Every structure is written in C-alpha cells, then in structure tokens.
Amino acid sequence: MPTTERLYYQDSHLIEFEALVTDKTDRVSGWTAVTLDRTAFYPTGGGQPSDTGTINGERVLECIDDEENGVLHVIQGRAPEVGASVNGRIDWPRRLDHIQQHTGQHILSQAFVTLFNAPTRGFRVLHDVCEIDVELTNPTNELIERAVELANNVVWEDREITVKTASAEEAAQLPLRKEPSRAGDLRLIEIEGFDLTPCGGTHAYRTGEVGMIAVRTWERAKGLTRIEFAAGTRALADYRRANKTSRAVATLFSASRDDAPKLAARMLDENKDLHRRVRSLEEIAARVEAHDLLAATSLNDAGVKIVTHVFENRDAESLKHVAQALIANPKTIALLGSREGEAARLVFARSTDTSGDMNVMMRAACELLDGRGGGKPDMAQGGGKKVERLGDAIESALSLL
C-alpha cells in the first residue's frame, strides 16, 4: 500500500486539503480509522501531540503514525468509504499552540547549548505546559533565566525558519544540535544563524510567531534538570493564572500584588510568635484549671483525688498541660477527655505516689472510642472517632482503678 504524503512537512500552516481515502479499519475504541493518500494532519510523535480537526465535517479525534501504512485518522462519526474524495480541516488554534511549543523548544534548547553547552535529552508537550530535560549540572534560577533571556531575544528578532533535506553524509558534515534518530535522508530545521536540528514536527515560519517563552519552574530529575516552560498562548494563559493567584493573595493582605510576599512572610513570623505566646498562656491557664478541678473533687476512701473531666475543643497538647498541672499535686489521678470536632481525645495521668497502669487503662478506653492510644504506667494518651462514647471510655478507666 502506498504510504501517506505528509503535507505538513511542506507547509506547517496548511489547514485545509483535499485527499482520497485509501484504507479504512475499525478501531477497538469503536471508532473507524481512515488512511488518506495525502494529509495535513500531524500524528502523535516526537513529543508533539496529534492534530485534531474534521474530515468531511466529521470529527478527527486523533491521528496515529503507522509508519508503513501511513497516517491513521481516527474518526468519531460516519467515516468515508475507500476511494472517496474528502475534504480535511485542521483545528488551527491547537496546531498554532503546538507550533509555538515545539518551535519554542528548539529555541530554548539551543539557548542552553549556546550559553552552557547543555544539550536537551527529552521533550514533552503536556496539557498546559511543556517540559525539557537538560544536561545542566548546576542549575540556578539565574542561569535558567539567562537562557530564557537569550531565547526570547531570538523570538523577538523574528528570525526566519527554514526546512531543508540532507543525506546522512551531508548531515554528518553539519553542526547539528542533536544526533539524527533515523537513517536515510534527514529533514533539518534551521533557525537563521542560531539552530540547526533534525526534526519531523511542525514549526513556525519565523521565530516571532512563538510570541514569548517563559519558564514556570524547574527541578533536578535523574541527573538532569527538568524545566517546565510555556510558549506563545500558553505563556499568556499561564501569566493570567499566576496574576489572578497573586492578586487574590494580595487582596487578603489589602496590599498591592508585588508587596504580598513580604506581608505574607511577616504574618507567618507573627503567627509563630503568637503560637509560642498562646502555649505559655495555656500553661498558666492549665494551673488555674487544675486548681479549680481539684477544689471540686473530694478524696476517696484511699485518700486519693480522682479528677475526671471532659473539655470542649482542646488539642492533645493543651489536655496534657492540664493533666501535668493536676498530677503535680500529691495523691492525684487525672482522667481527662476532649471533644474536638469529629475526634475524641484522652489523657490519663497519675502522681508518682499513686498506683494504676495508665497505659493499660488507655488501651481499653480507646477500644471503646474505636481508636488507638498508649503510653507509660503514669501517663498515657490516645483518642478515637466515637466522640459520643467519651464518657463511657472514662468510666471504663475508672472501673480499672
């Protein structure tokens, strides 16, 4: 079977074409794939996603490169018959997006080679950003922004981009940015005076069409530097999201957008100070609460005060403070609980001159709460989700004393 003539190789901006259907196959997805004698649809490959569009008005969901049999166009709807003459249309906004990301990648990758001799080892167009994996050994924001600066200058110089074909022997004499991944004649993409690389993708006519290139973030990954970037319309969309986010944060501080980080940092510092202050006040309050609880509790026959109490909305730390303040007094046992939203908490503690295994009591009590807990014979803590059984749990502990 003759393979498909790939019109996108000659013109990346061709969005409408006529062709003949050469083959038709059913897909496992339930849709039908057709092969054409010529196509402007770019199939998934080389890190670039497939084009979408229509064939005779029916949706083309995806195109697949089946090298020997040509390009498969997966059609959602009524597929044309073999031999039919059809009209194909590419979704231009999607193609333009891919042209911008793909050409942007050539430029950014060459910028890393020019400045730092750091080649690109991987490229992916993701849902709303792109990634390149660069052999950059000591990445910093400053180094990466230098490459971004150079890349954008090349974009704004609006350099011409041309496609050439070269034999393997000719190509071997040329300063290609990366090794060809296939044998035979090569398709070379040249950015005037800047970059020359073999590639089968769709590219801009001139670098200006890329618009701009922005790096969102980067990280070290498997010995390489993984750089997340966006070009063209994606860079604008990302700027809009970032601006919306930072303005929303600034509004919370009644500040201008660019002042917000300073104010957020200040508020976090203040928050830490307040936290420390609250903790120290809680210790004072715990001593007062312990005093009141002891005053309201009478001695049992053994001359011990067993203090039981359930608090509202106390975290484990503050419950422990009250328990410690209580058992600082001789002959005292504290069985304390707290309801905190959906969670029940317990702290059991005793002064050293009393007996009873708080750890054993805590384990039994936590079973009733459908939770977990434990500790030492003189101090144990735990909790569970059956808040309504908090009273029963303390009763069960009492019965073990």
Contact footprint for Zn ion (CB under 5 A): 199, 201
* Cβ at position 102, least distance to Zn ion in Å: 5
* Cβ at position 189, least distance to Zn ion in Å: 5
CB-nearer residue toward Zn ion: 199 or 336: 199
The 8 Å CB, 24+ separation contacts for 288-293 are 289/322, 289/325, 290/322, 290/325, 290/326, 290/328, 290/329, 293/322, 293/326
Distances (CA, A) of 18 to 56, 82, 110, 145: 10, 14, 37, 45
* Cβ at position 174, least distance to Zn ion in Å: 16
Q: Which two tokens stand for residue 344?
A: 């029940």
CB-nearer residue toward Zn ion: 199 or 235: 199
Residue nearest to Zn ion according to CB distances in the complex: 199
Helices 232-252 and 260-295 meet at what angle, rounded to 10? 40
Three-state secondary-structure class, residue 381 = strand
Give dist(CA 203, CA 382) in Å, integer: 63
* Cβ at position 50, least distance to Zn ion in Å: 15
Estimate to the nearest angstrom the gap between the alpha carbon of 315 and the chain centroid: 32
* Cβ at position 264, least distance to Zn ion in Å: 41
* Cβ at position 163, least distance to Zn ion in Å: 10
CB-nearer residue toward Zn ion: 147 or 161: 161
Give dist(CA 393, CA 219) in Å, integer: 50
Q: Which two tokens stand for residue 22?
A: 């050469």
- Give the torsion sign (CA, 30, 34, 40, 42): positive
